[in-house]
Amino acid sequence: MSIWALLVIVGILLIVLHIPPGMIWAERKVAARIQGRWGPTRVGPFGLLQPLADAVKLLTKEEVIPRGAERPLYYMGPLLAFVPGALALAVVPFGHDMRVGDTVIQLQIADLHVGVLFVLALTSLAVYGLAFGGWSSDSKYPLLGGLRSSAQMVSYEVALGLAVVAVIMSAGTVSIREMVLAQQELLFGFLPAWNVFFQPVAALIFLVAAFAENNRLPFDMPEAEAELVGGYHTEYSGMKFGMFFLGEYVAMTVMSAVMVSLFFGGWGLPGLTDPHDTSVGNALVSAAVFLVKVAALLFFYIWVRWTLPRFRYDQLMRLGWKVLIPLALANVVVTGLFGVL
């Protein structure tokens, strides 16, 4: 492994580790603004050190483990909720290639030819973390939360996968890198050739399914404080609870990064980035464009959470099985017909 590849890995790892604290601060601030409040202001300037205070609290909090807990699965739950999502970011290109001397550096940890399938495989493992955490706690409310999470995530994974299939059919590849490069052209001389314009139905289905996969309002049935006390993580405390919390934000970031790469041109933006320029400046600008797009989707996550009410469980399942899956199947059929014609 070259020193440049190692630096890219370390840089992306630092970004991943700093996303959850930033999201915690942003969620509190945006929620406060939506509700006419100030949010955290005391700990550090603008409350920026509030996530650090939260981390210290979690690290020093007493660990309470239920007497009847199935300990191997109890410990495995938080890990499966956090680690697969973090690994999925390895195949997402964060920016355009850059040339330093005679070396061309990819702003991507691993350029897998099956990148999309790799992401889907890893993100699907998160359901085991929630199910294990709920079942192994030996408590009825976490068990109900684990069952809800299993049914919900499996249901919406089908719609999400079918939305991705339509994009794969349009792009003719399962490599995320090649999909991003294919979106760097212009349509009619001014419109970006992003997949969201070719596959708007798939983009909408992917967005809705991503909310359900991440257990975010209006799809937060696995937690549902009003009915389940806290859901699958009720019996977790300290950093084990913190791992579930971090896993949710990392999963949101993964879904946002994948959606930007599949539908919104990835790191490209006409007029700012040049797909044929491998200079350091162009690479840094492309990385900044990518991060801004991801940040916009993360802001949308927060905005929806503090705006829409929670669905009833029957409404959630009906939307998944009777609306999104048939719509996604119809979109795949239409995409195939256009491809043949």
What would the DSSP string read from start to end of 34-65?
HTT-----SSSGGGTTHHHHHHHHHHHSPP--
pLDDT band of residue 300 (cuts 50, 70, 90) is very high
pLDDT in tens, 225-279: 666 677 788 888 888 888 888 888 888 999 999 999 999 998 888 888 888 888 8
138, 66 in Cβ contact below 8 A?
yes
- 3-state secondary structure string, 162-207? HHHHHHHHHHCCCCHHHHHHHCCCEECCCEECCHHHHCHHHHHHHH
pLDDT in tens, 10-45: 877 787 778 888 888 999 999 898 888 888 888 888
Return d(Cα 263, Cα 340) in angstroms, integer: 22
Return d(Cα 92, Cα 256) in angstroms, integer: 11
Tokens linked to 307 = 């705006």
Name which of 16-25, 176-185, 210-219, 245-254 the model is least confident about.
16-25
Residue 297 CA: distances (Å) to CA of 84, 86, 197, 210? 21, 18, 17, 11
Confidence at residue 293, expressed as pLDDT on a 0 to 100 scale: 95
Confidence at residue 261, expressed as pLDDT on a 0 to 100 scale: 93
What would the DSSP string read from start to end of 80-108?
HHHHHHHHHGGGS--S--EEETTEEE-SS
Q: What is the mean pLDDT of residues 101-121?
A: 84
Q: What is the mean pLDDT of residues 35-57?
A: 87
With 90 as the cut, is the pLDDT of residue 88 above it? no
pLDDT in tens, 137-164: 888 888 888 888 888 888 899 999 999 9
Return d(Cα 88, Cα 124) in angstroms, integer: 11
Top pLDDT among 206 and 82 is at 206
Confidence at residue 260, expressed as pLDDT on a 0 to 100 scale: 95
Q: What is the mean pLDDT of residues 217-221?
A: 82
With 90 as the cut, is the pLDDT of residue 331 above it? yes
204, 328 in Cβ contact below 8 A?
no
Confidence at residue 228, expressed as pLDDT on a 0 to 100 scale: 67
What is the helix (H) or strand (E) element at residue 78, kind and residue range? helix 71-88
Confidence at residue 329, expressed as pLDDT on a 0 to 100 scale: 95
What is the helix (H) or strand (E) element at residue 218, kind and residue range? none
With 90 as the cut, is the pLDDT of residue 5 above it? no
The secondary structure of residue 327, as a DSSP letter, is H
Return d(Cα 61, Cα 340) in angstroms, integer: 60
Top pLDDT among 114 and 332 is at 332
What is the helix (H) or strand (E) element at residue 323, kind and residue range? none
Q: What is the mean pLDDT of residues 185-212?
A: 90
Name the one residue in this structure whose structure tokens are 């509190």. 28
> Could you tell me if residue 255 is left (phi over 0), alpha (psi between -120 and 50 degrees) or otherwise beta?
alpha
Q: Whole-number mean pLDDT of the chain? A: 87
Own/partner pairs for 1-6, CB < 8 Å, 24+ apart? 2/103, 4/100, 4/103, 4/105, 5/105, 5/109
The dihedral over CA atoms of 159, 160, 164, 165, expressed in degrees to the nearest 10, equals: -30
Confidence at residue 225, expressed as pLDDT on a 0 to 100 scale: 67
Counting residues of the chain whose pLDDT is more than 90, the rounded percentage is 28
pLDDT band of residue 194 (cuts 50, 70, 90) is very high
Name the one residue in this structure whose structure tokens are 């696995």. 222
Confidence at residue 1, expressed as pLDDT on a 0 to 100 scale: 55
Confidence at residue 271, expressed as pLDDT on a 0 to 100 scale: 83
Q: Is the pTM of this model over 0.95?
A: no
Counting residues of the chain whose pLDDT is more than 70, the rounded percentage is 98
Q: Partners of 261 in the beta sheet?
A: none
